[in-house]
Homo-oligomer: A and B are copies of this chain.
Amino acid sequence: MTVNRRILLVRRPHGMPMADDFAIVEGPVPEPAEGEMLIRTLYLSVDPYMRGRMNDARSYVPPFALNEVVEGGVIGQVVASRHTAYRAGDIVVGTLGWADYNLSDGRGLRRLDPSAAPITAALGVLGMPGLTAYVGTLDIGRVQTGETFVVSAAAGAVGSVAGQIAKIHGCRVVGIAGSDEKCRWVTEELGFDAAVNYRAAGSLVAALREACPNGVDVYFDNVGGDVTDAVLPLLNDFARIALCGQIALYNLEKPDMGPRNWSYLLIHRATLQGFIVRDHAHRAGQAYADLARWIQEGRIRWREHIVEGLENTIDAFLGLFRGDNIGKQLVKVADPA
């Protein structure tokens, strides 16, 4: 009999999560009831936002429950179905547990067409990160031709797509990333106009000033902290900041202190807007159609950073905070049948 491994959150992390905050438990593979199906995990997604759900804090999604399976984006294959709309063999994507197998009644699931695009794209450029990039760049950032667009975590799943969307819309695009390899990828492969390695720049402000001779009109922020401090002095009048993430702050044990920075927003009449992709689900149809077209036209490229084995999920998740990944971080759990 096959075993089902499930990753539980057993302790709320204090600061950077540790392996002991999680437990991998083994159990029998469950049987679908009437109206349910059994899904085998092929790939699962680790995303920075999941860190917030590990805290016991009021937020836009409820916290993960202790001693329950951690849930996130999963691509799986139906292995047994008592659901009228799905058959064994179907490839699906949705929010499911970090486990070898999950039961589902189909809510929040959608079927993938493996002939249309590589299935893993459904967790990246044609999934939540791609929609996030689309909404943040176009609806929140409201990029205009000729403007300068800066994105932090530029080589990440969201930042790399956001920069390419801004480029398609006629912006000068500048990425901020944490290694020379990441900077080379976004400039040489993705077509960004410039990239700054924040770990190597003596003065990040000076490096950004050189990369943005006409100032910054739109800042797509995934990071916060010191990186964002360096962008703000370059804001142009009526700049927009699409506030998507603050990964630099997620693992702090107490609130970080930084220079008070609202004066830049005031003087330049900037708009800073926090957004969460699930408030923008109504944009998904248009976004995925546009993104698919841009991919087909060769105007959007992506890359995946794939770790093998469910047992390596926690390390892959922690790697997000170390900056291990270039492109979308995934865990491969099994091959499709």
Contact = CB atoms under 8 A, between A and B. Distances in A.
B271 A272 contact: yes
Contacts of A109: none
A34 interface: no
B266 A245 contact: yes
Interface in A174-227: 221, 224-225
A286 interface: no
Contacts of A244: 266
A144 interface: no
A276 to B, nearest CB: 6
A259 B225 CA distance: 10
B267 A274 contact: yes
Nearest to A224: B262
A268 B262 contact: no
Contacts of A224: 260, 262-263
Interface string A239-282: 00001111001000001111110110111111111111001000
A115 interface: no
Contacts of A272: 262, 265, 271-273
Contacts of A263: 224, 246, 249
A133 to B, nearest CB: 16
Q: Which of A221, A262, A275 has the most CB of B within 10 A?
A: A262
Contacts of A260: 224-225, 246, 249, 255-258
Contacts of A275: 266, 269
A237 interface: yes
Given A258-B258, A259-B255, A260-B225, A266 B246 contact: yes
Contacts of A262: 221, 224, 228, 243, 246, 272, 274
Contacts of A245: 266
Contacts of A259: 255-258
20 contacts: A59-B267, A224-B260, A225-B260, A243-B265, A243-B266, A246-B266, A255-B259, A256-B259, A256-B260, A257-B257, A257-B258, A258-B258, A258-B259, A262-B274, A265-B274, A266-B276, A269-B275, A270-B273, A271-B272, A271-B274
Contacts of A258: 257-260
Contacts of A279: 269
A255 B259 CA distance: 6
A249 B261 CA distance: 10
Given A225-B260, A262-B246, A266-B246, A237 B273 contact: no
A263 B244 CA distance: 10
A74 to B, nearest CB: 24
A60 B256 contact: no
A231 to B, nearest CB: 12
Nearest to A240: B273
A177 B44 CA distance: 51
Nearest to A61: B267
Contact of A269 (B225, B267, B268, B276): B276
